[in-house]
Amino acid sequence: MVGIIVIIFLAAGIFFMSTGAIGLLRLPDFYTRLHATGKCDTLGEVLIITGLLIYHLFHYPETPLVPVKLLFLIVFIFLANPTATHAIMKAAYNTGVKPWKVGDKRM
């Protein structure tokens, strides 16, 4: 039962991370690529680490302090990943990277 829940979490995380990677490859310019990866990767990683945390709680109950590390990792990813995306996007906007419009060539 716990295994099924863990597999559902891992599959959802893999789905979101694949969507982010495909968006990074397929979308036409820099801003839309970061729009795809900034959210999909954060959610996918948090889902995968949540599944592993549930697995650890039920399979290794003798070491209850290791999931705290994973909890720190989840909180840090939720804080840091959108911040890094925002910083690199603001730097690109201030240095004059133009957004893509309909009809332009793919950049």
Binding residues (CB under 8 A) for another protein: these are 3, 6-7, 10, 13-14, 17-18, 20-22, 24-25, 30, 33-34, 37, 41-42, 44-45, 48-49, 52, 55-56, 59, 63, 66, 69-70, 72-73, 76-77, 80-81, 83-85, 87-88, 90-92, 94-95, 97, 107
Cα 91 vs. chain centroid, distance in angstroms? 21
How far apart are CB 104 and another protein at their closest, in Å?
13
The Cα 94–Cα 52 span in angstroms is: 40
Q: SS3 for 6-71, per residue?
A: HHHHHHHHHHHHHHHHHHHHHCCCHHHHHHHHHHHHHHHHHHHHHHHHHHHHHHCCCCCCHHHHHH
